[in-house]
Amino acid sequence: MENISSLGSFNVRYKTKSWIFNITDLLFSTNRTLLFLADYSIIVIAYILSTSQSPFASVAQKTDFHIYIGSFVFASIFCLSALGLGYYERTRRYSFYKVITNGALSSLIALIATISIMYFVFYDVFGRKTFLWGTCGGYLAVTAFRLLLSVVYRRNPYKFTIVGDSPILSEMKAFCSDPNNREVKYFRYVEWPFSGNQPNLECLSERFCDIVFSKEALSAAHAENIAVWAVKNGYRVFNENDMYSSLFEKVQLDAISKSWLIEKGLNARNFSTEICMRLIDILLSLVSIVFLSPIFLVIALSIFITDRGPVLFNQTRMGRYGRPFKMFKFRTMYVDRSCIEASEGFTRNGDNRVTSIGKLLRPLHLDELPQLINIFLGHMSIVGPRPEAVGFAQKMSKEIDLYEMRYLVRPGLTGHAQLMAGYAMDTVDDTKVKLSFDFFFLINYNIFFYLRIVLRTVFVVLRSALGRRSLE
């Protein structure tokens, strides 16, 4: 019975190869690549067609190669901006409001960037009105595509059924039946109509799509027959952990083991991925340090002038494989109080240890900028689990099973847990929530996930700087 889940994985790969535009994957998959490529292709084609019909361009300009360059530049910046704005998050992929507003903002960013790049890089004086014409065409086309998918999904929601029972599956059922959940209209849980006895598979109707097995159900005598039948009839088979991760983009801590996590987390990584991520870390941290050096100087002077104390604060944090390192931050607490940060726990709202400059730096996360040095030195990565104080990490290791497994990768300046769970307190329950997202990152450790988190973080910080708490 342990081969049931692998049978389902084979079926997923087969269906993806035979029908790449699987409409179910566009809705439900945590992988954004397919939808990203679909949007990109639509925008390029619509942009070229729109500019070719522009009343502001001559016949010669309509066939100029700069039109094609502009279309690829515009589509690239649109999709990357949209990725950062959350346009590809499952909870907003087909929300009418989010599709229209996020698409409009991404189009504006892409238009400005395209005109600037075409002028300063290619020295092209191509008409701005023609670029605007292409922008409207690309935006309207991709918006129409998304809204059409939304209508299709509402009329034909993704359906799955569950064999067996467990706390994980109960949470999934509750999520799918919540009337306040806006996503329910796009997928539907269908009750399994058979008891634990051997079912008559011929009675299974077309209303079912994918089948999810609980851990206990996998050991039932009829499980293999159900799984084989499902695969032969074009359905996919999942175990409860994989389906839970796809639905919530986190891992259920009580349902995994150390061996499972090592297999999922370590086998998913390879040498080329490690090298590529490390090179990106070095490049991004070095470029950021150079370009942000004026901001570094202004912050350092502000701290020194207002408080006459040390500019930087360092604290020993737990690093990769449990190796401690000194993490740097701009000092945001009074000199005589910062030394007790670890003993008093995380900083709270209204904390009297925070300086006046610190109250400005912390909401914008500018106090974290010196960690770019840690990244360059290899202590940290741009993306990864947040590095915790050694004492706190040791305490959580004793109270939470598998906690130390989060250190299989370098700790990060930003990460999946920070984006999904936000600010968390130093409690066991809050730490478990963060850890469930950290483990999801660990088992999906790849360059595309890395870049998505970087882009999302950039826009979250920009939104915070404009006075908005988050992108949600």
What are the structural domains, with CATH classification, of the chain? 4-12+157-248 (3.40.50), 32-154 (no CATH), 271-465 (no CATH)
Return the residue matching tokens 């342990």: 2
Give the length of the chain.
472
Answer whether 0.85 is exceeded by the pTM: no
Q: Mind spelling out the 3-state secondary structure of 323-336?
A: CEEEEEEECCECHH
Rg (CA), the chain: 25
- Residue-wise pLDDT for 249-303, tens only, equals 888 888 788 777 777 766 666 777 788 889 999 999 999 999 999 999 999 998 8
Query: In the numeric block, which tokens belong to residue 60?
Result: 């010669």
| Least confident residue range of 47-56, 110-119, 131-140, 227-236 | 227-236
Band the pLDDT of 41: cuts 50, 70, 90.
very high
- DSSP annotation of 221 reads T
Q: What distance in Å separates the CA atoms of residue 43 and residue 49, rounded to the nearest whole number?
A: 10
At 196 the three-state DSSP class reads coil
pLDDT in tens, 422-442: 766 678 888 898 999 999 998
d(C-alpha 327, C-alpha 373), whole Å: 9
